Chains A and B, each alone.
Chain A
């Protein structure tokens, strides 16, 4: 070890350096095997979606299809209705995200920057519901939707999805708006801006970073939602979202593995692409829970 001391740092192939490097590469191989395990089901899924229906069963562990069979996608898209399911999911997700962003930004803004009667009550109720499990309230949600005539419709699904929880988003906006210097508002008011234009022209554009986080997390939660879309579409198969459609598909065609895999690829591709493009924001959005 002592021989390595007088060597210039960063140069050379001293024993310690090589050993150090080697240790980390061994670690990398171990972690790499784990990482492969994490990605494998998706690779298998893509591979199965390109095999013909017999090859899925016969080819054992081979991941490469002999010839890619694109008809699986056509079958999933048209026959199994995943084109329709994708459209439903896109409609529901886009509407829910817009509704959640607008309503949470508006609520967060007034709670953070104005004093008014009832402010405290609103705050207390919001915070209190953070500690009540919302996943166990599905029965009243269905009951109220039915009474309002919103069951079995996409708009009803959107309203229910954007009404549930999202306290975190309101709190995020509140925290952000509280930190904005009030001179900005005052300047806008002097320039003749009313309440609405102060919010939509000055405050909301300022809150872009929060809007990005809320959009991304709401998008993910809504795209992946299952329980609500499931109970909202029991009697309307044409309104199913991707996740519900998938369950129905395997319920009816349990032997069509390649069709199932193609449908799964169609359903997961949009979120995976978005994740790869915006990875940093996903990770930061989620890590927020610990950085307190």
Chain B
């Protein structure tokens, strides 16, 4: 949920505030002008201070911290130049966490985007019975606390008494319970599954919003021309959804890079680092280690941050391209 405000903001950068500027008429009198200026900065102060301390400063400081050796928040910092970067890049566990994050994303994004599209297509039809009830059901996990859900899932996937294994045993599909979270060959996929389950509703809502941009009369006209549901889907819905596909995929992609809450509470990165995503790697070196390596962890954070930033720029380019395509269609 932490990622939401960022997601929502994506539509904004394209809008320009300029028109408001030109409409503003210069204040009539000099004295009023200065008192207004004071009020303006008074209004901006809370944002400038809070945002400066907790968003801008941390971004700059992580670069500085990545060049020092620093073993705990109370400890002294010593300048070590690029050594932290060398150490991070030489650490196989960093690359392991990078791979885990990549695998997570590569599997979770398409599964989520495709399946939610299928469900959205069905739920968008007025002929679908109970559609709003279903929408509520799919959306329910989205509003719940990820960390709580993660803990509950530990029990749901328990190898002996968890309901999932109980069901598999009752149906005779397995002879003994599967250790979903305790076995490094299934743990990552279980977490991915829960992740898809948890956030499926968001992508579904995106698709439903996209589908609602297609006016009803387009379908009515097609129906008059004798088009069946299948050809409507192929020749109307799909082409009109195309520009949204890029945006929705990129929004989904970005959100899979923030899975700290779920992974920490479900598996804590284990077993044998099989679910250790980059966020957990950073957390482990900064808070969970006996001697925290804060400089080293900062270097890992910077490297991964740059990677995410690149994805962000890609996203911007993607949305621009999608808008263009949408405008032409």
Contact = CB atoms under 8 A, between A and B. Distances in A.
Interface of A: 20, 24-25, 27-28, 31-32, 34-42, 44-45, 48, 56-57, 60-61, 99, 102-104, 106-107, 109-116, 122-123, 125-127, 129-144, 146, 148, 159-160, 162-172, 174-175, 178, 182, 195-196, 199, 217-218, 220-221, 223-227, 231, 234, 242-244, 246-247, 250, 257, 260-261, 264, 267-268, 271-272, 274-276, 279, 282-283, 285-292
B321 interface: no
A190 to B, nearest CB: 13
B53 interface: yes
A164 B138 contact: no
B40 interface: yes
B261 A286 contact: no
A267 B248 CA distance: 30
Given A109-B43, A139-B286, A165-B6, A291 B151 contact: no
Interface in B45-86: 46-48, 50-51, 53-59, 61-62, 65, 73
B144 A141 contact: no
B136 interface: yes
Contact of A167 (B5, B48, B305, B313): B5
Nearest to B13: A127
Given A27-B128, A28-B130, A140-B62, A131 B143 contact: no
A48 to B, nearest CB: 8
Contact of B316 (A24, A131, A246, A275): A131
Contacts of B265: 226, 246-247
Nearest to A29: B129
B282 interface: yes
A57 B156 CA distance: 12
A244 B287 CA distance: 15
Given A110-B43, A130-B13, A168-B8, A227 B210 contact: no
B37 A116 contact: yes
Contacts of A227: 2, 260-261
Contact of A111 (B11, B17, B54, B206): B17
Contacts of B313: 131
A196 B40 CA distance: 10
Interface stretch (B87-95, B105-113, B232-240, B293-301): B293-301
A276 B302 CA distance: 40
Contacts of B51: 125-126, 129, 163, 166
Nearest to A126: B51
B305 A178 contact: no
Contacts of B125: 24
B140 interface: yes
B305 A221 contact: no
B305 A275 contact: no
B100 interface: no
B127 to A, nearest CB: 5
A111 B141 CA distance: 36
Interface residues of B, number: 119
A138 B286 contact: yes
Contact of B136 (A32, A148, A279, A286): A279
Nearest to A279: B136
Interface string B225-249: 0000000000000000000100110
A179 to B, nearest CB: 9
A289 B2 contact: no
B20 A113 contact: yes
B328 interface: no
B294 A226 contact: no
B5 A217 contact: yes
Interface string B1-42: 111111111111111010111011000000000011101110
Nearest to A125: B56
B46 A102 contact: yes
Contacts of B260: 135, 226-227
A45 B127 CA distance: 33
A129 B11 contact: no
B208 to A, nearest CB: 7
B205 A287 contact: yes
B258 A268 contact: no
Contacts of A165: 2, 5-6, 55
- The winner among B15, B163, B312 for most chain A CB atoms within 10 A is B163
Contacts of A60: 166, 170
B131 to A, nearest CB: 8
B43 A129 contact: no
A144 B49 CA distance: 13
Contacts of A103: 46-47, 50
A48 B151 CA distance: 14
Nearest to A117: B37
Contact of A137 (B4, B62, B154): B62
A34 to B, nearest CB: 7
Contacts of A225: 1-2
Contacts of B163: 40, 44, 61
B174 interface: no
A166 B166 CA distance: 43
| Those 4 A-B pairs whose CB atoms lie nearest each other, nearest first | A163-B54, A292-B11, A168-B9, A137-B58
Contacts of A243: 145-148, 261
B287 A231 contact: yes
Interface in B147-183: 147-149, 151-156, 161, 163, 166-167, 170
